[in-house]
Amino acid sequence: MLRRVSATVSLLAAAALALAGCTPADPAGGKTIKVAYQKTDSFTALDTMFQDAKKEFEAAHQGVTVELQPIQANDDDYGTKLALALRSPATAPDVFYEDTFKVRSDVDAGYLLNLDSRLAAWKDWDKFDAGAKEAGKADDGGTYAVPLGTDTRAIWYNKKVFEAAGIALPWRPATWQDILDTARKIKASNPTVIPFNMYAGKGTGEGTVMQGFYELLYGTGAGLYDQDAKKWVVGSAGFKDSLTFLQTLYQENLAVPPADALDPNVWKKVFGDWFPKAQLGATVEGSYTPSFWQKGGSYEWPAYAQDMGVAPFPTRNGGAPGAVSMSGGWTLAVGAETKQPDLAFTFLTTALNAKNSLQFTVASSQIAVRTDVAADPGYQSANPFVKDVSSLVSVTRYRPATSDYPRISAAVQEATEAVITGKRTPEQAAADYDTAVAGIVGGDKTVRK
């Protein structure tokens, strides 16, 4: 009997030991820098950049190991996974790839290290574009993240479809009405093509607002958030007008059928099917669009350079500044609880040096944030559209990246979905949105404009 008991006890002890063995120990006094970032089938440029940086860094710092931890996920899932890892100091990476619109809330959570003193000592920091630097700043004015690249949004159109409909090229709409007129003309000349699509509904998530609704909203002079008062805007005429524009597009079948619009994979059809097969006239998409079509992209299409054109999205009536664009972009940040803040920061600067930045910016069709990269001939000739989309930086806007933003964005997406499916009129959907916003942030944090 006793023997059986002691056997069980020793078994338990062995299990406990084995479990304890799972805790990673520092390999023989060496130091390790953990780097977390995103990698997908169609997005390997960042992986390449970190592989190169690892080689460079390990050669310069004997005894330090860089442990790369690529996370295979889409943007949303990557954000979730990273946030979960950051919750515990045991799993938090030392250096990581961070979405600009999460910087503020992650600083609030205490996940990011303040980089001010270290950046002041980094000579390359002056080479970063001043506007892009803003993306790494938190509410306290300190900088917590270094921009990696940015993007802009514009109208991408298929020249073949436009030529067939007898529209003069290059096309540059000056007002919303120009867009509708052109789309109707295409519809009349060939009813089988989709004249002008804009993402809407919850299926395409952030794509709905970044490549669609915000271009409309900011072109009316209205906004989403009053930065000075730190309040969310409700009841604006611009919001209703933007919804009405979407309603027109979808009701007149100038955009895709609502069922397609709500399919989360609709963007794959845009890039992979409709544009290459000349079944789509135009859509609003990001400056990274060529990365899908160039060599090594997910939907290789060599003819895109001749067949596609790009135009800025106009303001409603052509008022100043004449164009609207939205920007996102990603940064690199250092974990607040890292044991080697200096080494981690040095690794960050290695990853973002001129050579690595250039390679990454070109491979992923990003807009350069370093002035020396922007001036490089290799960058300027990366694809035929670099100049057009880079010039939109002067009119571009960023999302109000507060902790409440994801819910507000979802409320906007819901409003667009209700309108394009015909369940609500633009007035009703706008009123629903106002109620939703008051519910999310509280009535005292909203302002009527």
Partner 1 sequence: MARHHQRRQLARYLPVLPAILLLAVFLAGPVLWAFQASLTNAGLTGRHARNPEWVGLENYQRLLQDPVFPLSLALTVLFVGGSAVLGQNVLGLALAVLLRRARPAVSAVVGTAVVAAWVLPEIVAAFAAYAFFSRDGTLNQLLGGMGLAEVDWLYAVPMLAVIMANVWRGTAFSMLVYRAALGGVPAELTEAAHMDGAGAWQRLVFITLPVIRGSIATNLMLVTLQTLAVFTLIWVMTAGGPANGSSTLPVMAYQEAFKFGDIGYGTAVASVLILIGAVFGAAYLRLLREQKP
The residues of the shown chain that bind partner 1, judged by CB under 8 A, are 1, 4-5, 8, 11-12, 15, 76, 80, 83-84, 86-87, 102, 105-106, 108-111, 201-203, 257-260, 262-264, 403, 406-407, 410, 414, 417-418, 421, 423
Please, are residues 352 and 41 in contact by the beta-carbon 8 Å criterion?
Answer: no
Residue 214 C-beta: closest distance to partner 1, Å: 19
Q: Is the peptide bond before 312 cis (omega within 30 degrees of 0)?
A: no
Residue 364 C-beta: closest distance to partner 1, Å: 25
d(CA 36, CA 50): 10
Residue 63 C-beta: closest distance to partner 1, Å: 32
Amino acid 207 reads G
Residue 77 C-beta: closest distance to partner 1, Å: 8
Residue 225 C-beta: closest distance to partner 1, Å: 16
175-182 contacts, C-beta under 8 A, 24 or more apart: 175/314, 175/315, 175/316, 175/317, 175/318, 176/216, 176/219, 176/245, 176/314, 176/316, 176/317, 178/314, 179/155, 179/314, 180/248, 180/249, 180/254, 182/281
Residue 425 C-beta: closest distance to partner 1, Å: 15
Tokens of 1: 């009997």
d(CA 92, CA 342): 16
Residue 433 C-beta: closest distance to partner 1, Å: 14
Residue 339 C-beta: closest distance to partner 1, Å: 18
Count of other CB atoms within 10 angstroms of residue 365: 24
**Residue (75 or 124) nearer to partner 1, CB:** 75
Residue 206 C-beta: closest distance to partner 1, Å: 11
**Residue (61 or 407) nearer to partner 1, CB:** 407
* Cβ contacts of 444 within 8 Å, gap of 6 or more: none
Encode 371-404: b = buried (16+ Cβ within 10 Å), e = exposed. eebbebeebeebbebbebbbebbebbbebbbbeb
Rg (CA), the chain: 25
Residue identified by tokens 């054109």 is 309
**Residue (201 or 314) nearer to partner 1, CB:** 201
Q: Are strands 194-197 and 280-286 parallel, antiparallel or unpaired?
A: parallel
DSSP 285-338: EETTTHHHHSTTSTT--TTHHHHEEEEPBPPTTS-TTS-BEEE--EEEEEBTT-
Residue 110 C-beta: closest distance to partner 1, Å: 5
d(CA 2, CA 132): 71
d(CA 178, CA 181): 5
Amino acid 425 reads T
Residue 410 C-beta: closest distance to partner 1, Å: 7
Q: How far is CA 343 from CA 37, 123, 194, 248, in A?
A: 18, 17, 53, 55
Helix (H) or strand (E) holding 440: helix 426-441
**Residue (102 or 153) nearer to partner 1, CB:** 102
Helix (H) or strand (E) holding 101: none
**Residue (87 or 277) nearer to partner 1, CB:** 87
